[in-house]
Chains A and B, each alone.
Chain A
């Protein structure tokens, strides 16, 4: 437990804050949080943060409870486990999930936390983590798909003072940066994160100067309380007392031959409170897919789904935490024993979207979306230039792929987009001017989005031609189990990856692989998965289906899934459409199940090799 040194005497007075001041402080906090993003984006060097925005800011109250932010880190978890003093000017850095109780969840994420002092008193915390493209270890980009322990995943930084009373610990930083392949990236990105936290700190100090510390801190309490009250009302409204609802989804494989991993989440309301229970989930993996989930992060995921929809302008925060109990059994996918490998936890982080969506959607039709692009698949390419002006120079790329947003109550899922806030793709021209790559195709694939009244977004095919020999790595999922459809919608298509070798041969790649050698002229096709469909496809406007055929987003054959027949010129054939729709309607059950997960799992596994070109994974075993 950290010892926080404060020179100010006594407690902050709790004062009444008028509602307008409260809203003003809420607004100012929101601005400060976006300013943090801006500072980092503009100064970072690694493409992952600079171009794709793989970073997460947070501002906490004096106890470290989030008052503004997104999700993905927990200050109290870090402070609980940190043994030492904290003083004005200190900046903590860590990258070890196990020594901060999962405040972050893999070693690539570098977490910075700093106290915000006003007149000798901690009035809050500024914090941010960013995904470092490389933190050393045996695989380029530090995410070995065959890792069994965290020791294979690069430098592990326990929480320590990067700055002590404003003074940089240069030696420690030098030792850390000596472990990584692109130290200038890490240095710049870390600088940017610290600068962003300092910016937040300044803004909070300005707020305290403007309103007084008493008012500011009391306002935070009120903002937290606002979330508490909103959540309390929502819980009673949505869930019946004593009823348990449950939902399960899968991670397809663990990189070392096992899968699929079943992930189960249940919710029970008792009185004012609910219990989120992860019992029934698969055991921990001997591979790197484990997602070491901090209980507070589970609360955050839950909260954002619940509250954002109720008041989109709310500054949602940790205030409702006392209303949510979380149970995560030990030695499971969500709570593996040290020193299990964690690097590929991005699939679990992503699948939580689908898990919460499926769970809560049962009770809240406003929130019931199909399964979406619930991951952030990684593509990595590295090597030394073999020839040319840059011969001998090292290159290293870490990038994130995009896919189909699911069909939603409000409409179609966008094609080739991101579920993650603030993520953007790296422009082709950027890749080509900085890496020995030529992008030969970058388009969404027709029919990969699940059919529905609201179509699931299409997945994307990016074709990378390699202009220099090197190695590639891939982290992907949903190649085996389907992105499910809802309310009558079909599942989306699964992901695929293959290399068209310069020698003419074709090689299918597994979803999680690293160290694959590529030669000059080889072409990698990285095809991501589509979003599930929402609602009855036969009810979709036939003219819209035909227009999408003309747009190349749906094929003429694919239009038949909507019961739509199109002519050569992709116009609706009205008579044929009426006939086909009647046939399809007659051949299906009167009321479809809420979820369409595709064929039963046994059938999926039986057909695995024939359909995907890859052997079926073995069932997960307890380790």
Chain B
């Protein structure tokens, strides 16, 4: 017997998913996270899962891990002390940044500028200069930089970042400084911008390289410690880490480029959503992951999440490929308030978080939150998270009543409904960002809802977006671990190569693609996926010459090959046409300017592991065996009675007409009146408007 182990470490809980590779049977375990050393919680969870499944740790072939170690280092400001080497004249590149002040016209009055990740006193300038064409304008003064690196060593830096002007064109000075640094700063990890992000725009490249160095020591320490503990417990399988782009990398590869795993956690959720939705037969998806403080949404087309070029964590934005997840500060803990001057109802972005949490948690929170509103409306049963947290209805009511008073609303329920409507609208805004605003019609997608609070708001979001069905996957609270366990090894190689199409030939582009493919394929092979099982995809960032933003379009290498490189440029022509189509779709017009290539990227993936979905026993439409009772709820402005179901007792084919509440260990699903949920054999609930749900899955 061989087992795969998915591990997702969240802020509150560590989820473990053990999968029998042959039968697809899964065993779940949930345990408290151990923020000081996450590996402790992971090992506890693994032990728990193995015991409950009666599996020997020696039978675990692979450990697949989504981690927030890198993310937390940034959010908590607890990363390494990074030294930075810039070109002479550019030491303040992070201080000046893009000179941008967020907010409106008076935004500068209230904006607190975040401190750079590498302090100015730990920034030194190298005397050197490379021109935009790669020409060496000033040779590197090696003695000078050596002396400056010694100063950084004496200042106690824990990681070094090197980011020189125009190094995206030619990285030789950076490499030489890296060599000198290896001599002068033994044991200190070194990040070179020409390796981390060989792309034009010095601020973005520098901040990304510095962020890499900032999280590197902690990530390396954590992965070392975890690998050690896994080995000590007799797990011989390899440890893989999920990257922000949804691909897996071996632990050493991930540790070398940790900036690529800042969104490891959310990427696991999206991967899990893709997997679960595929079992139910859906591949075009909007994913909707609502937690306590924020909601992450993403768009998935043909089973592939959209990959963005930017990763945002807190105040920090770096250029690193990640699943294009948009985050809004709207979650169960979001606080509702009424500014006295305008008397508007605002929900978030302030959050009560997990501590003190919503008023109903009884941990000292007084502020009315979304969770409190859900309780007032009767949508949440008396306990959350498997009964670990009891809910105080009276406290929730008292908190929400303050909103009713301030707004002059007739009832506490009206205020609660307002809070829920507003937070839904905020999340709808996020879903629009990834759909309508990217030119996609949400009605052509299914909506997959997960996270602790997602299934409660999912039906309402389906109504706002028109995305049907709304899919509630099995165990929506541990979906990330599913994602970790069901994704594949992936590597990407990229190059900035700015050429107008008239300066470029099919053969030249194909040559670059071949080089990049080889580089990525070799890595993926080394990570355990043989070449014959690899899939290769190639994308190019293209713009009209003179534009500042590129559009990413897929490159079909078959078209390039089909012309036999006869000099007619058929491949580039097809690429230009694909760009035009995308430009027209996004912006509704074309320009007659020449096309220009900016970046070319090749992604190589190993095979997606075979993981069997659960298969529920067949039942009829009648779900009465799962009914546990009736409960009073407030829906669409009136009191109503909802039927309560136990999700564990549902059978395939059961139909649950709204209004209904479906409870399970770590989540609660609300089915609205006029809608019905059908139970798919793979365990997902598919919610649709009542008139269409009769056709089933």
Q: Flag A325-354 by CB within 8 Å of B: 1 or 0 each.
A: 000000000000000000000000000000
Please tell me if the beta carbons of B110 and A441 are within 8 angstroms of each other in the complex.
no
Please tell me if the beta carbons of A50 and B345 are within 8 angstroms of each other in the complex.
no
Give the contact stretch, choosing among B216-224, B420-428, B531-539, B606-614: B420-428
Identify the closest chain A residue to B106 (Cβ): A308
CB distance from A446 to the nearest CB of B (A): 11
Q: Which one, A229, A412, A440, contacts B89 given CB within 8 A?
A: A440
Q: Is residue B36 contacting chain A, with contact meaning CB distance below 8 A?
A: no
Q: Is residue A256 contacting chain B, with contact meaning CB distance below 8 A?
A: no
Q: Which of A70-91 contact B (CB under 8 A)?
A: 70-71
Please tell me if the beta carbons of B99 and A424 are within 8 angstroms of each other in the complex.
yes
Bound: A457/B417 CA distance, A? 46
Residues of A within 8 A of B121 (CB): 547, 550-551
Q: Is residue B107 contacting chain A, with contact meaning CB distance below 8 A?
A: yes
Bound: A322/B91 CA distance, A? 51
Identify the closest chain B residue to A188 (Cβ): B591
Residues of A within 8 A of B204 (CB): 427
Bound: A311/B106 CA distance, A? 12
Please tell me if the beta carbons of A444 and B92 are within 8 angstroms of each other in the complex.
yes
CB distance from A551 to the nearest CB of B (A): 4
Q: Is residue A43 contacting chain B, with contact meaning CB distance below 8 A?
A: yes
Residues of A within 8 A of B661 (CB): none
Q: Is residue B562 contacting chain A, with contact meaning CB distance below 8 A?
A: no
Please tell me if the beta carbons of A432 and B345 are within 8 angstroms of each other in the complex.
no
Q: Which of A230-268 contact B (CB under 8 A)?
A: 230, 233-234
Bound: A316/B409 CA distance, A? 24
CB distance from B119 to the nearest CB of A (A): 7
Q: Which one, A19, A309, A439, contacts B345 given CB within 8 A?
A: A19
Give the contact stretch, choosing among B242-250, B486-494, B541-549: B541-549
CB distance from B90 to the nearest CB of A (A): 6
Residues of A within 8 A of B417 (CB): 20
Q: Flag B85-101 by CB within 8 Å of A: 1 or 0 each.
A: 00001111101101111
Please tell me if the beta carbons of A438 and B131 are within 8 angstroms of each other in the complex.
yes
Q: Is residue B432 contacting chain A, with contact meaning CB distance below 8 A?
A: yes
Residues of B within 8 A of A305 (CB): 106
Q: Is residue B586 contacting chain A, with contact meaning CB distance below 8 A?
A: yes
Bound: A314/B339 CA distance, A? 9
Residues of B within 8 A of A423 (CB): 99-100
Identify the closest chain A residue to B120 (Cβ): A551
Q: Is residue B645 contacting chain A, with contact meaning CB distance below 8 A?
A: no
Q: Which of A529-569 contact B (CB under 8 A)?
A: 547, 550-553
Please tell me if the beta carbons of A441 and B166 are within 8 angstroms of each other in the complex.
no
Identify the closest chain B residue to A432 (Cβ): B132
Please tell me if the beta carbons of A408 and B109 are within 8 angstroms of each other in the complex.
yes
Bound: A230/B204 CA distance, A? 41
Q: Flag A418-429 by CB within 8 Å of B: 1 or 0 each.
A: 111111110111
Please tell me if the beta carbons of B165 and A23 are within 8 angstroms of each other in the complex.
no
CB distance from A410 to the nearest CB of B (A): 6
Given A24-B425, A443-B92, are A304 and B549 also a contact pair (CB < 8 Å)?
Answer: no
Please tell me if the beta carbons of B591 and A442 are within 8 angstroms of each other in the complex.
no
Residues of A within 8 A of B90 (CB): 428, 441-443
Given A418-B100, A423-B100, are A230 and B341 also a contact pair (CB < 8 Å)?
Answer: yes
Q: Is residue B588 contacting chain A, with contact meaning CB distance below 8 A?
A: yes
Q: Flag A6-30 by CB within 8 Å of B: 1 or 0 each.
A: 0000000000000110111011100
Bound: A28/B430 CA distance, A? 11
Given A230-B342, A418-B101, A421-B107, are A20 and B422 also a contact pair (CB < 8 Å)?
Answer: yes
Q: Which of B99-127 contact A (CB under 8 A)?
A: 99-101, 103-113, 119-121
Q: Is residue A45 contacting chain B, with contact meaning CB distance below 8 A?
A: yes
Bound: A419/B417 CA distance, A? 40
Please tell me if the beta carbons of B101 and A443 are within 8 angstroms of each other in the complex.
no
Q: Is residue A313 contacting chain B, with contact meaning CB distance below 8 A?
A: yes
Given A192-B587, A411-B112, are A304 and B92 also a contact pair (CB < 8 Å)?
Answer: no
A-B contact count (CB 8 A): 228
CB distance from A360 to the nearest CB of B (A): 11
Give the contact stretch, choosing among A33-41, A501-509, A594-602: A33-41
* Interface size classification for chain A: 35 or more
Q: Is residue A273 contacting chain B, with contact meaning CB distance below 8 A?
A: no
Q: Is residue A479 contacting chain B, with contact meaning CB distance below 8 A?
A: no
CB distance from B439 to the nearest CB of A (A): 10
Given A429-B132, A429-B201, are A41 and B549 also a contact pair (CB < 8 Å)?
Answer: yes
Identify the closest chain A residue to B548 (Cβ): A50
Q: Is residue A578 contacting chain B, with contact meaning CB distance below 8 A?
A: no
Residues of B within 8 A of A415 (CB): 92, 95-96
Please tell me if the beta carbons of B96 and A311 are within 8 angstroms of each other in the complex.
no
Bound: A429/B166 CA distance, A? 6
CB distance from A18 to the nearest CB of B (A): 8
Identify the closest chain B residue to A366 (Cβ): B109
Q: Which of A29-64 contact B (CB under 8 A)?
A: 31, 35, 38-39, 41-45, 47, 50-51
CB distance from B165 to the nearest CB of A (A): 6
CB distance from A50 to the nearest CB of B (A): 4
Q: Is residue B695 contacting chain A, with contact meaning CB distance below 8 A?
A: no
Please tell me if the beta carbons of A42 and B341 are within 8 angstroms of each other in the complex.
no
Q: Is residue B578 contacting chain A, with contact meaning CB distance below 8 A?
A: no
Bound: A218/B204 CA distance, A? 45
Given A551-B120, A551-B121, are A38 and B437 also a contact pair (CB < 8 Å)?
Answer: yes
Please tell me if the beta carbons of B546 and A304 are within 8 angstroms of each other in the complex.
no
Given A20-B422, A421-B104, are A460 and B96 also a contact pair (CB < 8 Å)?
Answer: yes
Q: Is residue A417 contacting chain B, with contact meaning CB distance below 8 A?
A: yes
Q: Flag B440-484 by CB within 8 Å of A: 1 or 0 each.
A: 000000000000000000000000000000000000000000000
Identify the closest chain B residue to A192 (Cβ): B587
Given A39-B587, A410-B112, A411-B112, are A428 and B202 also a contact pair (CB < 8 Å)?
Answer: yes
Bound: A417/B421 CA distance, A? 38
Identify the closest chain B residue to A26 (Cβ): B344
Residues of B within 8 A of A440 (CB): 89
Please tell me if the beta carbons of B201 and A427 are within 8 angstroms of each other in the complex.
yes
Identify the closest chain A residue to B200 (Cβ): A429
A28-B429, A188-B546 given; 17 more Cβ-contact pairs under 8 Å: A20-B422, A42-B587, A304-B106, A309-B109, A311-B342, A415-B96, A416-B99, A417-B100, A417-B108, A421-B103, A430-B201, A440-B89, A442-B89, A443-B96, A444-B92, A463-B89, A553-B120
Give residues in B with beta carbon < 8 Å to A: 89-93, 95-96, 98-101, 103-113, 119-121, 129, 131-132, 137, 165-166, 168, 200-204, 339, 341-346, 407, 409, 417-418, 421-422, 425-426, 429, 432-433, 437, 498, 544, 546-549, 583, 586-589, 591-593
Ordered by A's residue number, 20 sampled pairs between the chains whose C-beta atoms are within 8 Å are A20-B417, A42-B547, A42-B549, A188-B546, A308-B105, A309-B106, A314-B339, A367-B109, A414-B108, A417-B99, A417-B108, A425-B99, A428-B165, A428-B202, A429-B168, A430-B201, A433-B132, A443-B91, A460-B96, A553-B95
